[in-house]
C-alpha cells in the first residue's frame, strides 16, 4: 500500500498517474503466475496469452486518455521512480495473496486490521517527509470516508478471506475487471468521454480473465 501511494504521489502528471496504475495492475497476472511455484498449481501454456490479453486490454482501454508509447518511454526516462514503486507494489501484492493461502489457509480470521494499522503508521511517517498543503472540504471528507470504508477496509478484508478460503485462480482471474471498473468510474467521475477502445479493452480484459481461469488449476 505504501509503495502504491508513493507511485501515485511521485507521478509527474495525470497521464503518468494512469500509466503507473497500469503497471500496478500487473498484480492479477503475477498472482496467477505465482500460484505455480508457491501453491503448486498446474498451468497450461494458454496462461501466457491469457495474461497478455488481460494486460493488453487494460492498455487499450487507457489509450482513450491520449497516451502513447512515445510519451510512456519519455516519462520512464525522466521520472522512473513511480514505475519502480508500482512494480514493487504489484509484486508484493501477488506474493502476499499467494503466501496468505499457503501459510494461513486454516486460520479463522486474518491479520488485515494489523496490516492496515501498520500501513497507516507508515503513511503518516511519509506524510511528514513530503511537504504539501492540505485543504479539507466537505467533498474531500466524504471521499476520504468512502476510501477508508470500501476500497480499504472491506476490500482488503474480503480479499484476504478469498485468498485463505476461496478459489485463488477464480478470484485472481476476475481481478482483471478491477482496472476496467477503475477506468469506467474515472471517466464518469472526471467527465471524460469514452471511445471505442474502452469497450474493445473491456472485451480483451474479459477474454483474458476467462483464459487465465481455464489455464490454471489449483492443486488441492
Three-class SS of the chain: CHHHHHHHHCCCCHHHHHHHHHHHCCHHHHHHHHHHHHCCCEECCCHHHHHHHHHHHHHHHHHHHCCCHHHHHHHHHHCCHHHHHHHHHHHHHHHHHHHHHHHCCCCCCCCHHHHHHHHHHHHHHHHCCCCCCCCCCHHHHHHHHHHHHHHHHHHHHHHHHHHHHCCHHHHHHHCCHHHHHHHHHHHHHHCCCCCHHHHHHHHHHHHHHHHHHHHEECCC
Lowest mean pLDDT among 18-22, 58-62, 105-109, 204-208: 58-62
What pLDDT is stored for residue 137 in this prediction?
94
**Is pLDDT of 218 > 70?**
no
Of the pLDDT bands very low, low, confident and very high (cuts 50, 70, 90), residue 3 is very high
Of the pLDDT bands very low, low, confident and very high (cuts 50, 70, 90), residue 65 is low
> Which pTM does this prediction carry?
0.81
Lowest mean pLDDT among 19-23, 59-63, 197-201: 59-63
Using CA atoms in the order 158, 22, 4, 209, what is the torsion angle rounded to 10 degrees? 20
Lowest mean pLDDT among 27-36, 47-56, 105-114: 105-114
Of the pLDDT bands very low, low, confident and very high (cuts 50, 70, 90), residue 59 is confident
What pLDDT is stored for residue 217 in this prediction?
79
What pLDDT is stored for residue 69 in this prediction?
59
List the chain domain ranges: 2-217
Over range 78-102, report the average pLDDT. 90
201 and 59 in contact (C-beta within 8 Å)? yes
Over range 1-9, report the average pLDDT. 89
What pLDDT is stored for residue 49 in this prediction?
92
| pLDDT single digits (tens) 136-176 | 899 999 998 998 898 888 988 898 888 888 888 788 777 87
| pLDDT single digits (tens) 95-122 | 998 998 888 888 777 788 888 899 889 9
% of the chain beyond a pLDDT of 70: 87
What are 68's three cell numbers?
502513447
Of the pLDDT bands very low, low, confident and very high (cuts 50, 70, 90), residue 68 is low
Contacts of 118 (CB under 8 A, 6+ apart): none
Amino acid at each position: 500500500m505504501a509503495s502504491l501511494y508513493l507511485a501515485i504521489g511521485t507521478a509527474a502528471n495525470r497521464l503518468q498517474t494512469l500509466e503507473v496504475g497500469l503497471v500496478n495492475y500487473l498484480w492479477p497476472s503475477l498472482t496467477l503466475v505465482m500460484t505455480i511455484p508457491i501453491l503448486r498449481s498446474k498451468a497450461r501454456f494458454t496462461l501466457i496469452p491469457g495474461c497478455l490479453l488481460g494486460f493488453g486490454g487494460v492498455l487499450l482501454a487507457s489509450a482513450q486518455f491520449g497516451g502513447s508509447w512515445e510519451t510512456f518511454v519519455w516519462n520512464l526516462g525522466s521520472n522512473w521512480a513511480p514505475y519502480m514503486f508500482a512494480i514493487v507494489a504489484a509484486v508484493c501484492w501477488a506474493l502476499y495473496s499467494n503466501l496468505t493461502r499457503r501459510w494461513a489457509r486454516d486460520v479463522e480470521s486474518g491479520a488485515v486490521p494489523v496490516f492496515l494499522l501498520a500501513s497507516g503508521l507508515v503513511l503518516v511517517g511519509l506524510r511528514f517527509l513530503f511537504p504539501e498543503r492540505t485543504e479539507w472540504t466537505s467533498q474531500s471528507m466524504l471521499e476520504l470516508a468512502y476510501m477508508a470504508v470500501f476500497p480499504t477496509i472491506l476490500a482488503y478484508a474480503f480479499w484476504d478471506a478469498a485468498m485463505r478460503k476461496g478459489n485463488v485462480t477464480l478470484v485472481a482471474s476476475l481481478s482483471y475487471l478491477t482496472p476496467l471498473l477503475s477506468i469506467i468510474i474515472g471517466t464518469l467521475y472526471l467527465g471524460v468521454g469514452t471511445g471505442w477502445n474502452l469497450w474493445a479493452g473491456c472485451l480483451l480484459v474479459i477474454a483474458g480473465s476467462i483464459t487465465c481461469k481455464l489455464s490454471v488449476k489449483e492443486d488441492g
